[in-house]
Amino acid sequence: MIALWTSQEIVTATGGTLQGAPFEVSGVTFDSREVESGWLFVAMPGTVADGHAFASRAFAAGATAALVSRPVDGPHILVGDVAEALGALAVAARNRMSGTVIGVTGSVGKTSTKEALFAALDRYARGRVHRSVKSYNNHTGVPLSLARMARDCDYAVLEMGMNHAGEIAALTRLVRPHVALITTIASAHIEHLGSMEAIADAKAEIFEGLEPDGVAIIPEDTPYRDRLVKAARKHADRIVTFGGGEADVTAVHAVRADNGGSLVTARLVECEMTYTIAQRGEHWVSNSLAVLAAVEAAGADLAIAGLALADMDGLKGRGERRRVPIEGGSFLLVDESYNANPASMAATLKALGDESGISRRIAVLGPMRELGEHSDAAHAGLAEAVRAAKIDRLILLGPEMDLLEAALGGDVTVDRAADVDEATRLLAAIARPGDAVLIKASNSIGLAKLVERMAGGLATCFT
């Protein structure tokens, strides 16, 4: 096996000093809980804890060496600033990679689209595709994802996120994508950006890092389409739009498939194809068009990408579906607990409304964060989506949801929960065999704990 990094390569990239015998590593992490045998542990400084305090735990877990700014017990490379050194390692990783890099950002759906792109490309070039893990998409996550990239991979799919203007500009210059994709423009993080136009501009920063002959992929179905196109023209050799209307990549025909997903006939830039999407919801039709546009731009196999979309399961926290055992049968739990904004709330509620063969629709909803002055209107505005989805029962967490309850005006039975524990108890008391239950909130609310407690069934979720 070819080493991910040798100690000499790390020293050359970071300007650090090797303390101990030369070594090779097969992985990189800054989380001591993730360490595997043969990995490099990066002792990142933090606002809550300093990574140096966990170096001994990392070595005990099998780390070969550490990247540090002060000496530790064990082989290490000593640098002046660990965060800067990780960034330098990321630059070195990108410089030695000769394959095709796809960068993904957007207000909604970037992680799901990234995972679908990985599935499509990995099915075509098995074992030779790299991607960001989890949602490592910020100023520390992107450098780590790059540092983990094998020197001989054919494709890489890297996610970039932001809370403020200028963040994606810095990340995309590290990633240097050949294909830059924006999934959607929605009101996520509007508290920090101030306006939808500012959000569009911040997302459009991804084009600033495009390599020569790069391709920009832009959603057609947004009021900010022309704004994005204008920004892309400064950096892209070619622009491809996806979605409805006059988009370059569009669904000519889309119907619900027997598996609950969608059967789609799409027109692409150079061909037309029919494929099935395993994921449920109309928003996944749009996601699939973005994926196919990127696959086509990257020169990979579209037919194989279609097969991957047909086989792709739901992602934890982003649409994963599981049956929860309950006396007399089971109910369907749809896990959308990772994050929420008005657009994703509306999309997942609509998908719940489209579920067939169920007895009742129940939604456990928590607040949407980082909406600033738009928060009140956004939470009250969910009432329309709740009514349209024919929700039978709501469990609401957080004072922000007072506005949704008031806007519903008694049209839906509502239970209020003070925290995740109470929401779990309420759901356990309410759920019946044949129900479909949606779990959705911003990640900081912690509804993922409710999902995990339900994993073994209602009889065991409090033991």
Q: Which residues are annotated as a binding site for ATP?
A: 106-112
Strand order in the sheet with 65-68: 17-19, 76-78, 65-68, 39-42, 27-29
d(CA 145, CA 412): 44
CB of 300 closer than 8 Å to CB of 101: no
Interior angle at CA 297, CA 291 and CA 302, nearest 5: 60
- CA dist list (Å): 385 to 107, 192, 286, 404: 19, 26, 19, 11
Interior angle at CA 279, CA 274 and CA 281, nearest 5: 95
Q: Is the dihedral of CA 120, 126, 127, 128 positive or negative?
A: negative
| Tokens read off for 31 | 């989380």
Query: β-strands 155-159, 215-219: how paired?
Result: unpaired
Query: β-strands 436-440, 329-336: how paired?
Result: parallel
Contacts 24+ apart (CB under 8 A), 193-197: 193/164, 193/165, 194/372, 196/223, 196/224, 197/224, 197/227
d(CA 463, CA 458): 10
d(CA 189, CA 339): 12
d(CA 267, CA 251): 6
d(CA 151, CA 227): 36
SS3 call for 254: strand
Binding residue numbers: 106-112
Q: Could you say which DSSP state residue 319 is in?
A: B
Q: Is the dihedral of CA 157, 175, 342, 331 positive or negative?
A: positive
Strand intervals (E) in 167-261: 179-182, 215-219, 238-243, 249-256
Strand intervals (E) in 168-319: 179-182, 215-219, 238-243, 249-256, 262-267, 272-277
User: Of 283, 342, 322, which is closest to residue 461 (Cα–Cα)?
Assistant: 322
Question: Which amino acid is residue 85, in one-letter code?
Answer: A
CB of 228 closer than 8 Å to CB of 247: no
